[in-house]
Amino acid sequence: MESIYQTLMQLPLFQGVSRAKLLELIEKIRFHFLKYEDGEKIASRSDACTHLKFLLSGSIRCEMNTYDGKVKLSQILHAPDIIAPDHLFGRSTTYPANYYAVGQIGMMQIDKSTFMTLMQDEPIFMINLLNILSRRSQKNKECLMSMGTGDLRERLAHWILILTSRNATNIRINARQRDLYSYFGVQRTALLNTLAEMKQEKIIDYTVNEVSILDRSALRDILLEDIEFIKE
């Protein structure tokens, strides 16, 4: 229990919840604890999102595609994390991506109606979730308004920052080069020049079918260097 407490307290959703309160809740509430083996699927894109799923130990590979299937984005999420907290409510209450265990992992889940009761009984959870969701909306507008040149560097930065998690690693874009420059609306030479520049700055690396992000935090600096307020 002590280690679960330590883990959960690192999540923004549990900010301000006391140790005593959390231990009481873990006793009282129907949390489900699950284990997955390496490569096992945890959720599929368009599965109904009926539970709030917490990653307690290990890592998860998250894979999403553009709707035409031509550009794939993958990232590794690390414990502790919450899977798609912005898909439990709203119109699209389905997962936006496929999620797979990387090695053996431990998860905890709570069904939506139990979580709603929890938010009523303990408003700190409601406030924390409202903060998380509001921040996503704000961050997105800030990214858009902070663009200065609209070039590929900025658009790539915006795309990655919005679609990946702050602590994600191994962020990779897989696409044929022609699909990639078409998706970002630039010419082939513009794509190759930008990728070469960003590689030299050690922000990305790339091969013919893959772009890997080496330094996600450097992407934030690309969106107008003088704005400090795009924090996550």
Could you tell me where the DSSP H helices lie in 122-185?
123-146, 152-163, 177-183
List Cα–Cα distances, 119 to 84, 86, 128, 141, in angstroms.
Answer: 18, 15, 10, 27
Query: Does 221 participate in binding a copy of itself (rule CB under 8 A)?
Result: no
Q: CA-to-CA distance for 8 and 26, rounded, in angstroms?
A: 11
Site residues for a copy of itself, 48-87, by CB under 8 A, read 64-68, 86-87
Query: Does 151 participate in binding a copy of itself (rule CB under 8 A)?
Result: yes
Q: Which residues of 199-221 are buried (b: 16+ CB within 10 A; e: fewer)?
A: eeeebbebeeeebebeebeebbe
The first and second tokens of residue 48, run together, are 């109904």
Site residues for a copy of itself, 1-40, by CB under 8 A, read none
Size of the site for a copy of itself (CB under 8 A): 55
Interface pick for a copy of itself out of 185, 200, 207, 228 (rule CB under 8 A): 185
Residue 29 or 127 with smaller CB distance to a copy of itself: 127
How would you classify the pairing of strands 51-65 and 81-83? antiparallel
Minimal distance, residue 69 CB to a copy of itself, in Å: 10
Query: Does 155 participate in binding a copy of itself (rule CB under 8 A)?
Result: yes
Residue 4 or 118 with smaller CB distance to a copy of itself: 118
List Cα–Cα distances, 155 to 145, 196, 215, 224, 225, in angstroms.
Answer: 12, 16, 16, 12, 15
Interface pick for a copy of itself out of 19, 32, 41, 136 (rule CB under 8 A): 136
Summarize as ranges the residues that interact with a copy of itself (CB under 8 A): 64-68, 86-92, 96, 116, 119-120, 123, 126-127, 129-138, 140-142, 144-152, 154-155, 159, 162-163, 182-186, 224, 227, 229, 231
